[in-house]
Structure 1
């Protein structure tokens, strides 16, 4: 069952760095998955997280229903839903085995999405008098306007900027590259950062081409981007649990609400499968069925 441990470790890092959850909460999420792993071992199942079926999950839920109350059962199911949604978001699975498994009404709510006004407020709260202010504004504008994963944001290079063509080159999962449109406002803020700060900063060897640097001339970490966003959330008194991922989620949601088609959103987000984008959007089932009938290769 070692293959479960590697996926579990990556999931824990996601919860810690991108969701900003406490170690205690992460331990609870981990415990839910370890209960499933224990069930698999005791029943001699050899399925990995990427190929476990809905039927085996159903057997597991049936077993735990004999041992725990409805609230605990709901928490375990919610924990598993979160884990398998993470695997779908990260392109390890094409779908989740949890779709038809019902959660009692004490389950978790959908993740928060930021309104455009809230995004403006967060970016407007950045202190531009500090050296890193221009960097942080350019960074959050890029995160939102291009819908990037935080790992893609911190990996952006100066040589990835194609402003004359109106695109940036993004390196996503598995080193797969895609071109994402970039707006004039975001270009302007990146240029302000380049001219006012980045071009005067001595980059550490090996980081010369990295766009967003820390004050020591090195590539930023995912945790640092999370901290910047968390501090701004506190500064404006925003009562939402957000992370770098929230900007990507909001980017896609706002595009959809304004009439963009799911295929275009899929390309910009860098999802291999339209079903990944579908899970991401929390769309109603009737619309999803129409989209799958129109776009999915195995309709």
Structure 2
């Protein structure tokens, strides 16, 4: 599979340099191709990405469809289509073996949304007295500030853990956020979020011994290094179990709730799109769903024939 490795490496460079995708997104794209490589290896099929036939790829997709749900299958097909389109773009191939493959129809999956009450309960469940004795880190204070910032600014978890001290513009009322593809945007920061950040930075973070390379990172672990996305996932998962929330949530649930609550309170989609950092407003429409009750309220309030 050496021939595949070189093409995959060049493809990764293309995704990074030409398309400006994040390391995370590139890893997801690569995973789908490596899955195809694994299938070829298991079935002793020696073929390069330049010579692989439609039939071989179709058989791979057929086998995969028995193992994964339609949503995952659609993602794999999309990832492979992108790879073979790149090979055509670079003149390695004339046609794509994906042309006759149809993506399975999937319903729009809307993640669970937290009510304001849910968010208050989750944050209230944080043990503010919790401290790491060795480092002196007030873990509870840090976690409360992280969740307030995650929800208050509608951040992705990757944006939260990479947030810098130099990104805070409290006087102007904004936070500079570095999103997908290293694209920057300015997000308004509310008084509550700003208050907790000031408390955390002034009385918690400044007590830590910060490791080299993390001097500007806001959220630190007990070793004085930046938090990981996995740590934030675990914190939220544990809190949900603690209050018996009954919903499967993740850091992204806070971002989705941020957008939904803004829309329900009268914000327009374009403003929400800018705050979330979505390139297309279509993406915003997917993330920000409305229940029928709210649609009825909008109709009653704004339609001229109400």
Instruction: Please report the TM-score for the alignment, with normalisation by the length of structure 1.
Output: 0.66
8 A Cα contact 1:147 1:247, kept in partner: yes
**Deviation string for 1:49-104 (max 9, x for gaps)?**
xxxxxxxxxx969x95xx99xxx789642323566899xxxxxxxxxxx999534x
Indicate the residue corresponding to 1:169 in structure 2. Answer: 176
Indicate the residue corresponding to 1:93 in structure 2. Answer: none
Greater RCO (Cα-Cα under 8 Å, separation 6 or more): 1
Change (3 A) 1:281 1:148: same
State how far apart, in whole Å, the 2-side matches of 1:13 and 1:127 are.
36
8 A Cα contact 1:12 1:30, kept in partner: no
Runs of 5+ in structure 2 lacking a partner?
A: 16-22, 41-48, 80-100, 131-137, 296-306
Matched, 1:239 2:246: yes
Instruction: Please report the TM-score for the alignment, with normalisation by the length of structure 2.
Output: 0.65
From the CA coordinates, give the structure whose radius of gyration is larger: 2
2:105 is paired with a residue whose SS is coil
1:259 is paired with a residue whose SS is coil
Match 2:195 to one of 188, 192, 206? 188
1:180 is paired with a residue whose SS is strand
8 A Cα contact 2:77 2:103, kept in partner: no
Match 1:220 to one of 197, 205, 227? 227
Runs of 5+ in structure 1 lacking a partner?
A: 15-28, 46-58, 87-97, 288-299
**Deviation string for 1:164-206 (max 9, x for gaps)?**
1111111111211111000001111111112221111111011
State how far apart, in whole Å, the 2-side matches of 1:100 and 1:162 are.
45
The alignment yields a C-alpha RMSD, in angstroms, of 4.1
Indicate the residue corresponding to 1:139 in structure 2. Answer: 146
Number of residue pairs aligned between Structure 1 and Structure 2:
238
Indicate the residue corresponding to 1:257 in structure 2. Answer: 264
Matched, 1:178 2:199: no
State how far apart, in whole Å, the 1-side matches of 2:119 and 2:254 are.
8
Change (3 A) 1:166 1:85: farther
State how far apart, in whole Å, the 1-side matches of 2:77 and 2:116 are.
29
8 A Cα contact 1:11 1:83, kept in partner: no
Indicate the residue corresponding to 2:301 in structure 1. Answer: none
Indicate the residue corresponding to 2:72 in structure 1. Answer: 79
Change (3 A) 1:204 1:82: same
1:194 is paired with a residue whose SS is helix
8 A Cα contact 1:139 1:153, kept in partner: yes
Change (3 A) 1:125 1:30: farther
2:186 is paired with a residue whose SS is strand
State how far apart, in whole Å, the 2-side matches of 1:211 and 1:76 are.
38
8 A Cα contact 1:78 1:108, kept in partner: no
Matched, 1:102 2:113: no
8 A Cα contact 1:252 1:281, kept in partner: yes
Match 1:208 to one of 203, 215, 218? 215
